Amino acid sequence: MIRVKICGITNIEDALSAVDYGADALGFIFFEKSPRCVSPEKAREIISLLPPFVTTIGVFVNEDTEKIKEIMNFTGINVLQLHGDEGPDMCSIWHKVIKAFRLRDFTDLKPLEKYRCSAFLLDTYSPESFGGTGQIFNWDIAVEAKRFGRIILSGGLNPDNIEKAIRWVRPYAVDVSSGIEEEKGKKDLRKMREFIEKAKAALTPHG
């Protein structure tokens, strides 16, 4: 069954609803320029209320190593996601790390050879943003990327296209943020539930 990460969590209602609907992981963004940025204090409060067996992921963009360690220790985040221009050496520091790559074409896959990560998150390239664009990319690139390791598919996913995306790519997991929002930083609970249900059923015999 496909694993689902709900990213851009900023409040307790969205977090607990995502878990109730069957999300496997929640993403907390600690990049100040993101409209979905959450403070370490708020993230810690939310995480303290989560039930067991839910993975929490801290998303950082070109952040200082010591600052990352400080926030992860303070909040209790389980897994690190590096969503900027971090190199292979930065990834090698951490025990569990997801490295994000923003893709335009097949040539953008070349750097993946140099990285050793728990998984690669594939997002849509934008010159203005490190993520959350709401735009999809060529899923054939994601299929090719699977030869480098576990793939988390992101970029423009929503309840209308998630089943097609999963059947096309068959990734390790999918990641969604803007595609299920009511407004930036606040989830549309109906869309979130629909997204998770469709993602979980996509590869079942009757999905």
Active-site positions read 7, 123
Strand segments, DSSP code E, in the chain are 3-6, 25-29, 55-60, 79-82, 97-103, 119-124, 151-153, 173-176, 181-183, 186-187
Structure tokens at 106: 């097949």
Cα maximum dimension of the chain: 48
Q: What are phi and psi of 26, to 5 degrees?
A: -120, 135
DSSP-based three-state secondary structure for 134: coil
Whole-number Cα distances in Å, 55 to 84, 122, 129? 21, 19, 25
CA distance 68 to 53: 23
